Amino acid sequence: MKWRRRMEEELARDIADHLAMETDGNIARGMTPADARHAALRKFGNVARVQEDTRGVWAWAAFDAWRADVRQAFRRMRRSPGTSALAVLSLALAFAPSVTVFSVMDRLFLTPAPVKAPREIVEIMFRDTRPNAVKPYLGVSYPEFQDFRRSLRSFSGLAYESRGAATVTMNGRRVLVGANMVSENFFGVMGVPMALGPGFLQGRASVILSHRFWMRELAGRRDIVGQPLPINGQSMTVGGVAAEGFPSMSGIFVPDLWYSVEPWGGRLAAQRRDHRAGTVWARLRPGVSVEGAAAEVNGYCRKLAQDWPDSNRYLSGYTYAAMADHERGGITMTAMGVTLLGILLAVACANVAGILLARAEERRHETAIRQALGASRGRLMREWMVESAVLSTLAAAFGLAGARVLMRALPGLLPSMIIPLHFEFSFGPRVWLYAIALIFAAALSFGLVPAWRGSRPDLLSGLRQDSAVSVLRIRVPIRSLLIVMQVAAAEVLLFGAGLVLDTVSGVGRLDPGFDPERPVALGVLLPTSDDGSPRPVDWEAVRDRLARIGGVRRVAYGAIVPLSGSVGPTLKLETPGQEPREVLGGSAGPGFFSTLGMRILSGRDLAAGDQHGVLVDATLARQLDPSGGVVGREIRLDGAVRQIVGVFQDAKWETIYDRPRPRAIALTPARSWGGVTFAIEVNGDPGAYVAALRSGMAAAQPGATVASAQTLRQHYRDWLFLERAATQVLYGLGLLALLLTVTGLHGITSALFSRRSREFAIRLALGATPRHIVVAVLASGVRLAAAGLALGLAIAIPGGLLLASQISGVPAWSVPALGLSSAVVILAAVTASAQPASRVLRIQPADIVRSE
């Protein structure tokens, strides 16, 4: 604005000089000074208007031509509001999901956690080398971590992390959060700076908060450092707040805080070598490769196996570059996503290009005249490009608004977890960059062809035929080519969606081992006292209380639930004449499995008083005795003799993809320290009982923490969330592409019809039946669709192979996916051509021929 003021001052001085000179001249010619001044002003004209006109030259002249073009573009769009709206809508429909999906991927995959040199970080775990190991990969216990830390030379630092949950009490409110127990050097090894505070206080019970938690629950209060914070009832001192963005959001389990393991290192659980609840993060020394480090770890594991044969005999090391792998995976996912979105955008662009091309044809007359009058080709092309840019910008505005709505809605669609996920999606700088790139790519791609064609100086020849290109020496109208590509793209997306759906429906057909349709609600209760510290709770008392809720038929509780994301404990099984081996364990209260609809194959469910009884699953029963008669047999589990009371069906415990593994279930003690899940079986809709279950659990044991409450069906659905979401997104994109294709196809068949209506009229007059002509119009649409389908399949089938190689569980080939997508595409093509074709029936030959 300084520049502007200087210009103003100079202009004023220039005008004053001018008037002074003119006045001087007039005086020299003999006028009185007053008259001379008047005459000069008269001759000069209106000073204010001159200043205004001059200002106009400064401010706008540079943009004058562009502004005129933009105005012109708007005027043209207003003149054909229908097609303009269609073009803007097409693009906006592609923009909104593109930006939304990209923002999610940006958040999950492209936002690096503030970890120093993440490629140097490896994660160390154990691998069980036995072929039938119940847990092929194992964590590391705290004593083992200390051994590693003392002995391994490949690393400049090793840190321990054990995932978990804890209750935090703030202002009298207790919340359940993700809380990881880590060694004090954790942040040092990771190279994660503190946003606030000094970090862990050596040897003292201290806690580091995640930036997200600090902002969310403590409103970013800076005086929190040094304050006590009760975690699980233990007062811990806040040592600091970790840097923003650590850890990245892509893990399923994102902790809210970390507390140091050292003050608790003497505890019994921490001292047990087989309590493998943790993982080891290590930073490679400069010059050491991942392979070199892995070799050292494996060598050390062999030594551990000799020193501790009971716990480590079969364990080898598993060392991998966790962060680099994660980063690579994220980039692959993002690349696939961007490609998919690009296909959708290409379909939308093809639509808009079709519309603009049609307009270019309509405007040929105008273009010809303007060229005759001397408009340069560059000038005409610029007009077209500006029109494309205006369309694209308008669409982007709508698209971004749509994306905002979608992003706001997204967190609500995520499944409810015991520890709440706090996802928030927003427009980061990369998302803006992506959106702007989309706008430019779109404007360029659909703007160039019509601009080139529309400004082409083929004044006379152009009047008679469509814009066309040569493909294999056949003249193909560009708009038809666009439709072929659109159909192909829609087919690719639908086929891909079909493949994923095939996987998901396959997953949906997998038996989870319980009946999600039973009228059951589940509630998770953690045994805590008022201050959040652990305290054994009398489960039977809670059960009695819940049983009194009206409409509740049956109440049961158990410490292990199918599809809970955890495998459960391992137990040592000893059978006479056989090597001791590991099986999976767990515990359930009386009637718990029956309440969940898990089938008891023989014998009976656990009942009250079954202190020495045990349930085994079908896999373990088969292993114990292939002929099946195991009920009543005694087995030794972790040194205690148990009698098998029944056999239950195999179930999916960790995820729906679990393979069957032997498992034995004992009775949950009536009072215990671990959390349990209550199941209530009700009359009617279980959803109506969720609130009552929650309040009932809270009221029965004041102080106990109610972690979650939902229906059994919801529990099941939440565990299939990712699969369902992937299918829905893909199908959404595919259908959107199809919708855009249909409008494009409709447009082109309509245009074809209008152009040939005279021919049709004459043919009708000469005696052709309308049916012939309807078929001809329909056929032209279907021919295009068929060509597109062929092209689409040519891309989709190798694409399917690629997809299958990238995502495990997705088939490369599926007949239903192929058949369904092809049928939908052809059906859509017929529908799109049907309306223009039906217009043939309304042709009045006389009218049309006369109007020519």
Residues making contact with another protein (CB under 8 A): 10-11, 13-15, 17-18, 20-22, 24, 43-47, 49-51, 53-54, 56-58, 61-62
For another protein, the closer CB: 57 or 541: 57
- Helices 377-413, 81-105: axis angle to 10 degrees equals 50
CA–CA separation, 98 and 390 (whole Å): 19
For residues 56 and 136, which CB has a smaller minimum distance to another protein in the complex? Answer: 56
Please state the closest distance from residue 76 (CB atom) to another protein, in A: 25
Torsion angle of C-alpha atoms 303, 307, 309, 315, degrees rounded to 10: -30
Query: Residue 526's closest CA among 280, 705, 651, 659?
Result: 705
Q: How far apart (Å, rounded) are the C-alpha atoms in residues 263 and 239? A: 14
Minimum Å gap between C-beta 19 and another protein is: 8
Nearer to another protein, 24 or 424 (CB): 24
Q: In the complex, what is the shortest distance from the CB of residue 481 to another protein, in angstroms, rounded to a whole number?
A: 43
Q: What's the number of CA atoms in the CB half-sphere (13 Å) around residue 642?
A: 27
Taking the C-alpha atoms of residue 271 and residue 234, their distance in angstroms, rounded to an integer, is 20
Shortest distance, position 42 Cβ to another protein, whole Å: 10
Query: From the CB of 30, what's the least distance to another protein, in Å?
Result: 17
Closest approach of another protein to the CB of residue 366, in Å = 22
CA-to-CA distance for 97 and 438, rounded, in angstroms?
12
Identity of residue 657: Y
The CA distance from 684 to 671, in Å, is 31
Minimum CB separation from another protein for residue 32, in Å? 19
We find the least distance from the C-beta atom of residue 61 to another protein, in angstroms, to be: 6
C-beta of 43 vs 408, nearer to another protein: 43
Q: Which is nearer to another protein, 27 or 418 (CB)?
A: 27
Q: Which is nearer to another protein, 21 or 827 (CB)?
A: 21
> Within a 13 Å sphere around the CA of 461, how many CA atoms are in the beta-carbon half?
6
Q: Give the residue among 112, 786, 227, 719 at the shortest CA–CA distance from 488.
A: 786
Q: Least separation, in Å, of the C-beta of 374 and another protein? A: 11
Q: Which residues of 720-740 are buried (b: 16+ CB within 10 A; e: fewer)?
A: beebbebbebbbebbbbbbbb
d(CA 203, CA 677): 36
Give the span between the Cα atoms of 409 and 377, in whole angstroms. 47
Q: Which residues pair with 763 in a beta bridge?
A: none
Q: Considering beta carbons, is residue 31 or 507 the nearer one to another protein?
A: 31
Separation between Cα atoms, residue 417 and residue 715, nearest integer Å: 9
Pick 17 or 625: Cβ nearer another protein = 17
Minimum gap (Å) between residue 379 Cβ and another protein: 16
Residue type for 34, please?
A: A
| Nearest-approach distance from CB 21 to another protein, in angstroms | 4
Element holding 601 (H helix, E strand): strand 600-603
Q: Is the CB of 39 or the CB of 322 nearer to another protein?
A: 39
CB of 432 to another protein, least distance (A): 33
Minimum distance of another protein from residue 64's CB (angstroms)? 10
Indicate the residue among 66 and 657 with the shorter CB distance to another protein: 66
**What b/e sequence results for 636-669 when a residue is b if at least 16 CB atoms lie within 10 Å of its CB, and e otherwise?**
ebeeeebebbbbbbbbbbbebebeebbbbbbbbe
Phi-psi region of 816 (alpha: psi -120 to 50; beta: other; left: phi over 0): alpha
Cα–Cα distance list, 547 to 517, 543, 570 (Å): 21, 6, 32
Q: How far is the CB of 33 from another protein (least distance, A)?
A: 16
Looking at beta carbons only, is 68 or 849 nearer to another protein?
68
Asked if 250 contacts 112 with a C-beta cutoff of 8 angstroms, the reply is: no
- Assign 138 to helix, strand or coil: strand
For another protein, the closer of residues 20 and 463 by Cβ is: 20
Cα 729 to Cα 653: distance, rounded to the nearest angstrom: 27
Residue with smaller CB distance to another protein, 53 or 544: 53
Nearer to another protein, 50 or 133 (CB): 50
Closest to 536 measured CA to CA, from 519, 552, 559:
559
Cα(662)–Cα(568) distance, integer angstroms: 12
